[in-house]
């Protein structure tokens, strides 16, 4: 056995040197990635235990999660990581997608999520004629078996499963719809990224119309045009935007934008003041949450009824907004590449808009808003990630790569934001409030008087 092992190691080394790779001992691939840091990480984790309010204490939970993730990464071997990347995680992603398509998770949630045998789950999703059940039950059993191995459902007995909180959440459309959306719209561009790069001599994509998205999906349409042509994709995307922001501190939270009271208290006592225009606000979730947070009215009773909150987006998106939207919100179709029709609002809000567009297009969007801002009074609030110089969070780094692939755009560093907003658009950045931990910052700007 040991002779065979040595032969394998030699073959690996030979291949490595043939490819010009330095002498890295092949044995590291089957040893823990970072055994030395394991004792310290275990100590940190046991100290954190009991201190953390894991349900409500976001910061404490994230800190503990960071340590726990570091511990897993330290204990895993490179071989295990490699197999997870190339096999287990892709099977997991596509199994979840299939489960959503055929209704596995909804079937498992029936009867108060009680444990169910595989044939019962199969029959609940409609594969209940003899022939189909005989053919499909073992197949579904194999999918469920992998989902359990990856921790996505619980096994309660041989051939018997129950959903855990993750799989229960897959019955909620704003959580589930991101899966088919990424599978059908976003994965092909990533899959073909290397080929696109090769055809472009490895230049960074910088446009919405000739980029890995158009290449991977063999279309001439930009991502937003592509979605607009498909009600299914549009609905899935809109739901995903709602799911994305679940449980994250919103822009109006004290931990993100501590200067909000100043902004609101300085709305003058005039007829129908426009407090906030949410540009590209999708189905209205950000405005809705803001109004539900009771941040408004600050101190003046009259304004609670008179003040205006405007939701702008493309007509098709506004049509998909819930009918239960807060009465104080006015829906207004608006193309943000055209002049902003609402003049002199206290604040114009852009959440996850500029990261969809390369700088030249951002300049057009910002200049259209600038034309409507009242100098010395109106603020532009940009709620976007500001990538830190070190240790960027995965929630930012993955999004940056998808922005590049889907839109030819980017998440931005502080330097890049200043270059865009101050140097190119001529705005004054009053402050950048950056809560860190993968949460979008609030960049507060004004036009100079």
Ligand X SMILES: C[S@@+](CC[C@H](N)C(=O)[O-])C[C@H]1O[C@@H](n2cnc3c(N)ncnc32)[C@H](O)[C@@H]1O
Q: Kindly state whether residue 222 participates in binding ligand X, applying the rule CB under 6 A.
A: no
- Of 167, 217, 222, 282, the residue at the interface with ligand X (CB under 6 A) is 282
Residue matched to tokens 């073909």: 192
Q: Kindly state whether residue 353 participates in binding ligand X, applying the rule CB under 6 A.
A: yes
Active site residue 385: no
Draw the binding track, 156-195, toward ligand X (x: CB under 6 A; -: no contact).
----------------------------------------
Q: Kindly state whether residue 402 participates in binding ligand X, applying the rule CB under 6 A.
A: no
Stretch that binds ligand X, among 140-148, 179-187, 279-287, 370-378 (CB under 6 A): 279-287
Q: Kindly state whether residue 224 participates in binding ligand X, applying the rule CB under 6 A.
A: yes
Cβ neighbors of 2 (< 8 A, separation 6 or more) are none
- Of 240, 352, 379, 410, the residue at the interface with ligand X (CB under 6 A) is 352
d(CA 82, CA 18): 22
Draw the binding track, 235-264, toward ligand X (x: CB under 6 A; -: no contact).
------x-----------------------
- Of 317, 325, 347, 366, the residue at the interface with ligand X (CB under 6 A) is 317
Stretch that binds ligand X, among 26-34, 66-74, 332-340, 412-420 (CB under 6 A): 332-340
Cβ-based nearer residue to ligand X, 337 or 398: 337
- Of 178, 280, 408, 435, the residue at the interface with ligand X (CB under 6 A) is 280
The tokens describing 11, both together, are 């073959």
- Of 356, 363, 411, 446, the residue at the interface with ligand X (CB under 6 A) is 356
Sequence length of the chain is 449
Among candidate residues 146, 355, 385, 415, the one labeled active-site is 355
Q: Classify the C-alpha dihedral 368-370-373-374 as positive or negative.
A: negative
Cβ-based nearer residue to ligand X, 303 or 352: 352
Q: Classify the C-alpha dihedral 221-222-223-225 as positive or negative.
A: negative
* Count of chain residues binding ligand X (CB under 6 A): 17
Min separation Cβ 344 and ligand X, Å? 20
Distance linking the first and last C-alpha atoms of the chain: 79
Residues that bind ligand X (CB under 6 A): 224, 241, 280-282, 286, 313-314, 317, 334-337, 351-353, 356
List, by residue number, the catalytic residues. Answer: 355
């Amino acid at each position: 056995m040991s002779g065979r092992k040595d032969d394998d190691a030699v073959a690996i080394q030979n291949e490595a040197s043939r490819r010009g790779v330095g002498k890295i001992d092949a044995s590291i691939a089957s040893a823990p990635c970072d055994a030395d840091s394991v004792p310290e990480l275990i100590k940190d984790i046991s100290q954190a235990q009991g201190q953390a309010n894991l349900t409500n204490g976001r910061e404490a939970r994230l800190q503990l999660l960071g340590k726990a993730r570091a511990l897993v990464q330290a204990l895993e071997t490179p071989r295990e990581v490699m197999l997870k990347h190339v096999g287990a995680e892709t099977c997991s992603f596509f199994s979840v997608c299939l489960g959503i398509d055929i209704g596995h998770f909804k079937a498992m949630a029936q009867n108060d999520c009680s444990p169910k045998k595989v044939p019962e789950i199969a029959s609940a999703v409609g594969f209940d004629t003899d022939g189909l059940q005989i053919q499909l039950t073992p197949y579904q059993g194999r999918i469920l078996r992998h989902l359990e191995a990856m921790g996505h459902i619980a096994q309660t007995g041989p051939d018997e499963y129950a959903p855990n909180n993750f799989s229960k959440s897959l019955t909620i459309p704003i959580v589930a719809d991101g899966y088919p959306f990424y599978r059908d719209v976003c994965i092909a561009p990533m899959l073909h990224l290397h080929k696109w790069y090769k055809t472009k001599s490895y230049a960074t994509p910088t446009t919405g119309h000739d980029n890995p998205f158009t290449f991977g999906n063999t279309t001439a349409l930009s991502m937003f045009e592509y979605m607009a042509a498909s009600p299914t994709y549009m609905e899935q995307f809109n739901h995903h935007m709602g799911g994305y922001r679940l449980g994250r501190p919103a822009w109006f939270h004290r931990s993100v934008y501590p200067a909000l009271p100043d902004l609101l208290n300085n709305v003058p006592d005039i007829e129908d003041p426009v407090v906030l225009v949410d540009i590209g606000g999708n189905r209205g979730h950000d405005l809705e949450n803001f109004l539900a947070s009771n941040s408004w009215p600050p101190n003046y009773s009259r304004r609670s009824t008179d003040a205006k909150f405007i939701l702008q987006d493309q007509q098709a998106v506004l049509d998909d907004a819930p009918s239960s939207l807060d009465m104080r919100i006015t829906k207004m179709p608006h193309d943000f590449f055209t002049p902003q029709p609402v003049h002199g609002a206290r604040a114009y809000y852009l959440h996850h808009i500029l990261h969809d567009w390369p700088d030249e297009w951002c300049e057009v969007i910002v200049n259209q808003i600038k034309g409507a801002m009242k100098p010395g009074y109106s603020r532009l609030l940009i709620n976007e990630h500001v990538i830190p110089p070190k240790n960027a969070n995965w929630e930012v780094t993955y999004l940056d790569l998808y922005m590049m692939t889907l839109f030819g755009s980017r998440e931005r560093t502080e330097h890049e934001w200043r270059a865009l907003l101050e140097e190119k658009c001529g705005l004054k950045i009053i402050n950048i409030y950056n809560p860190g931990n993968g949460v979008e910052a609030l960049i507060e700007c004004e036009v100079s008087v």
